[in-house]
Amino acid sequence: MFANVPVLSLIIWLPLLGSLVVLLLPGRSGGAIRWAGISFTFVSMVLAFGLYASYLPLAGGGEFAEHGSWLSVPLNTEVMQDTSVTSYRLAFDYSLGVDGISMPLVLLTGIVASMASLASVHIFKRQKTYFSLFLLLQTGMYGVFLARDVIWFFIFFELTLIPMFFLIGIWGYYGREKAANRFLVYNGLGSAVMLLAFLILIATLGFASVQTDGGIELTFSGSYDTMLANLADPNAAAHQAGAWLLSDNLQWAAFILLLVAFGIKLPIFPFHTWMLKVHAEAPPPVVMIHSGILLKMGVYGLIRFAAFLLPAQLHSWSAVLAVLGVINILYGAVLACAQKEFKLVLAYSSISHMGIVLLGIASLNETGFEGAVYQAVSHGLISALLFLIVGSLHERTGTTRIDELGGLARAVPFTAGILLTAGLASLGLPGLSGFIGEFLSFLGLFSTMKALTAIGTIGVLLAAVYMLRSVLAMTYGPLPEKLAGLKEARFIETLPMVVLTAFIVLLGIYPSLLTDLMQHGFDGLLRELQTGVGG
């Protein structure tokens, strides 16, 4: 379907083009700006689905890979003893790729971003700037999931940071600037730590020495594929004593740095405070993106780099990850039970649900890994839907405090029904997507760590408590007087609700849509975990 079409590049760069188009439109034509913003978002989503349609799990997406040389810095060889070295370079290439792990997340990005663009019709303030930043953010997000060079990954990761800072800081609620600052500093710290880990990996795993007719060519490369190949190759420079040795200490340093970097994004327990502020203060479409996609960048990074490139460390720390996961699950769930603001219930519930992802990764088996990604996708859809509803309720009632709302089932039956469905999906009701992700993750972990799995499942019970407590309080009971004239959601609002619900149901009853995709995605990692590490 995409013979000779650089479809990955198109998915990434079309939103950027859209961002420029929006900037060139006159500021007064709000309608045109909105439609340009929405259509460019949809084009990338359609391309993402096209990619899905022609993706063959067994081939691993190799036919879509794109590679172009971008930056090759000559390094000085003047004081080098070995005179047969003809070329000594630092190379960062433009390389993109898709596989069983990134494919589901690219789809998620397409769906959630498109629905968030529809939800953005509530934004009237500075629409032009809003939509150009919104599109720029998409370039960053698609780029993160598709980049196959660590430096490009880093650039895209940072590229999501700047638009998000503005989107929170300009269009947020009362405490927006504080939330934006905290977002910036925490995530800035995360990416700095990540960069240090990447540089360590480039200087060791990324090093390759190639003997040619002319002499020896030495290259430091940021290419993920090169790193994977060097990891598997016992003769690679990274495994030999010398300047490029990836020593045990360095491996651990890189692993812990990556764990912290993606742990902030995920977020893992002590690093979560920034994300509560963002959930509470950012405008609803931006939270849909944030909770639906940006947190998943942490999951993706953890699997792609920490797990795939440092499997030995993952193996020895699987128990630590599982404990961190259980802490996340219980901490998030307990605090969610105590919140009075629905947005914060959802924020804590996100922490709890992301803990399940950690359990999946800690299981070290295919079921668990698939569960982790499944949970990431499912949580992305569910939280996007919940925040869509939050936005539409806030637009009408001016509040999302649980004690100020009630009787919505009578006033706005459709919205209330969707809210109930989303709540049930979130607590893991079988038949909806949340169940599959949780089930696979717990199942994976059960084969290795039974006690922790048992403790973790308490979180699922608590999820039922806090979800039903808040959702039922909002939908049933007496309708507060000041909400008497409440109007039902308009078509433009119901459309994304229906679409997101449809995907949640679809993934709930037909999970192989995603699990088939992921089938061969973890082969390499599992092989490393079984043979390379040994235990």
Partner 1 sequence: MIQTNTLTWSDTWYMAPELALVVATLVLAALDLALPRRTNRDWIGWGALAGLVAAGVFVGWHIHDLRSAAGAGEQTYHSLLGGSYRIDDFGNLLKLIFLGASALLVLASLGTVKREDVPIKGEFYYLFLPAVVGAMVMASSADLITLFLGMELLGITSYILVGVRKRTGVSGEAAFKYVVTGGTASAFILYGMSFLYGLTGSTNLGAIRGALGGAAADSRALIYAAFFLLIVGFALKLALAPFHAWAPDVYQGAPTPVTSFLAVVAKGAVFAMAYRLFLNTAYFQTDDSRLRGDVFLALAVLAAAAMIVGIAGALKQQSAKRLLALSGVANAGVLLVPLALDVTDLHASLFSEFLYYFIAYVFMNVGAFAVLTVILRDAGSDKLSAFAGLYHRAPWTAVAMTALLCSLAGLPITGGFFGKLFILFASVQTKAYWLAAILLATTVVSYYVYFSFIRQMYMRTGDTDGKVAVPVPAGIVIWLSAAATVALGLAPKPVLDWVGGVYSLAVDFVAR
Chain residues that interact with partner 1, rule: CB under 8 A: 70-81, 90, 151, 154-155, 158-159, 161-162, 165-166, 169-170, 177, 181, 184-185, 188-189, 192-193, 195-196, 199-200, 202-203, 220, 243, 253
For partner 1, the closer of residues 177 and 523 by Cβ is: 177
Least distance from C-beta 80 to partner 1, angstroms?
Answer: 5
SS3 call for 218: strand
Do residues 316 and 259 touch, judged by C-beta distance below 8 A? no
Least distance from C-beta 197 to partner 1, angstroms?
Answer: 10
Do residues 324 and 268 touch, judged by C-beta distance below 8 A? yes
Token digits for 94?
């433009």
SS3 call for 24: helix
477: left (phi over 0), alpha (psi -120 to 50) or beta: left
Least distance from C-beta 82 to partner 1, angstroms?
Answer: 8
For partner 1, the closer of residues 261 and 460 by Cβ is: 261
For partner 1, the closer of residues 155 and 465 by Cβ is: 155
For partner 1, the closer of residues 161 and 533 by Cβ is: 161
For partner 1, the closer of residues 270 and 413 by Cβ is: 270
For partner 1, the closer of residues 195 and 533 by Cβ is: 195
Chain mean position to CA 42: 19
Distances (CA, A) of 25 to 31, 128, 130, 197, 426: 11, 8, 13, 41, 40
CA dihedral 191, 195, 201, 202 (to 10 degrees): 140
Least distance from C-beta 192 to partner 1, angstroms?
Answer: 4
Chain mean position to CA 189: 18
For partner 1, the closer of residues 222 and 368 by Cβ is: 222
Least distance from C-beta 137 to partner 1, angstroms?
Answer: 14
Distance CA 328, CA 279 (A): 17
Least distance from C-beta 129 to partner 1, angstroms?
Answer: 8
For the chain, count helices (H), then strands (E): 23, 4
> First CA to last CA across the chain, in angstroms?
43
Q: Which residue has the tokens 């799990």?
A: 57
Least distance from C-beta 324 to partner 1, angstroms?
Answer: 23
